[in-house]
Amino acid sequence: MSVANTEVSAQVTGPCGDDDCGLRELLDRLGDRWTMLVLVELAHGTRRFRELERAIPGISQRMLTVTTRRLCRDGLVERTAYATIPPQVEYRLSPLGRSMTGILTALADWSRDNKAAIGAARARWDATEGLSRSGGAS
């Protein structure tokens, strides 16, 4: 999936009432704090509950449960439970889920690639803001 799109020949089209383009649906689904991280981790391979928990620093047991269940419900992740002692449950990406890992990777790549630029922009903005707003902020 080539997201390399340099051409943004964007006509200032009309109102384009359907501006969300389904993006909202997607954001409602994986716009939360953990969903994408779980997907990325599962993109590396099958993982057990505990492995996911360790692999995603900061996630709580509760949120891991909630997130994985939501992903199962949406058909992006498949769950396999073995009735062994101790219990063992495996999570893996479904074909549907795997079909979006490319985008996630692109996203992560972009983030890492432009992290510095954003940091610089912020520094610049903070300086500018001090000048244009509420003078004497420094």
Q: Rule CB under 7 A: which residues touch DNA?
A: 6, 32-34, 48-51, 53, 58-63, 65, 68-69, 79, 81, 86-89
> What residues contact residue 82 under an 8 Å CB cut-off, 6+ apart?
88, 89, 90
Question: Minimum CB separation from its own copies for residue 12, in Å?
Answer: 3
State the residue for tokens 């803001």.
129
86 cis-preceded (ω within 30 degrees of 0): yes
The amino acid at 125: W
80: partner contacted, choices DNA, its own copies, none (Cβ within 5-8 A by kind): none
83: partner contacted, choices its own copies, DNA, none (Cβ within 5-8 A by kind): none
The amino acid at 137: A
Question: Minimum CB separation from DNA for residue 86, in Å?
Answer: 3
105: partner contacted, choices DNA, its own copies, none (Cβ within 5-8 A by kind): its own copies
> What residues contact residue 105 under an 8 Å CB cut-off, 6+ apart?
40, 43
Nearer to its own copies by Cβ, of 61 and 125: the residue is: 125
63: partner contacted, choices DNA, its own copies, none (Cβ within 5-8 A by kind): DNA
